[in-house]
Amino acid sequence: MKFTDEERRRMLEEVLVEGQKIQKVSDKYQIKYQQLYLLVQRARQNGIDSVLHQNTVKHYSAEFKLEVVRHVLDGTSQAKTAVLYNVHQSVVGLWCMKYAEKGIEGLSDTRRPKLLKEDRPEADSPKRKKRVHTEREYQELEKRLRHAEMENEFLKKLDALVLERIERERRK
C-alpha cells in the first residue's frame, strides 16, 4: 500500500515522538509491521525526512554502490546496511547480486541516454504494416454488426414492454 509523505511522517512521529508501539501504529494504519519497523529504523538512523519522498527515482554512483556492497561483504546484514545508507533493502540485494555476477562493472550505471525524437534513427523504429482485410472478412463483420443492431433493437423494445407492464401494475 502506498502512503503519502504526510501519512508516513505521522506514523513515524507516533512511534518516535509520541512513543507508541510499532505494532499499534501498524495496526492503525494497516501497514505491515516489518515495513513500518524498517521505516522507523531508517528514520532513527537518518532522520524522518530521509524516509519521505519515496516515490522519487534516485540514481547512485558506482562508488556509492560499491561502498554499500563492501559493507555487506564485511558481514553486516543487507537490512542493517540498507538502514545505514538509507537505501531500500531490495536495492542493496540487487547491487550485491550484480557485483557477484559482474564485479564493479555490474554496479556502473547502465541506463542509456534518451535520444531526442529528431536524433533517433528511422531504421530503429519498425514501420507498422497495415493489415489488409479480405472481402469475406468485411462481409462477416457486416453480418455480425447487423445481428448486434437487431439484438439491440429487440432489447430496447423488450425494456419498453417491461416498463409499460410495471406502469400498468402500479396503476391498479
Residue 16: pLDDT above 60? yes
pLDDT tens-digit map of 113-166: 566 666 666 555 556 667 777 888 889 999 999 999 999 999 999 999 999 999
Q: Is the pLDDT of residue 103 over 70?
A: yes
Instruction: Output the pTM of the full model.
Output: 0.44
**pLDDT tens per residue, range 35-68:** 888 888 888 877 777 777 655 667 788 888 989 9
User: What average pLDDT does the segment 77-98 reach?
Assistant: 86
Name the one residue in this structure whose C-alpha cell is 499499534: 24
* Cα(17)–Cα(5) distance, integer angstroms: 17
Q: Among 131, 52, 41, which Cα is nearest to 79's?
A: 41
Residue 122: what pLDDT? 59
108: left (phi over 0), alpha (psi -120 to 50) or beta: beta
Task: Name the nearest CA neighbour of 70 among 30, 31, 103.
Answer: 103
Residues 147 and 155 sit within 8 Å (Cβ to Cβ): no
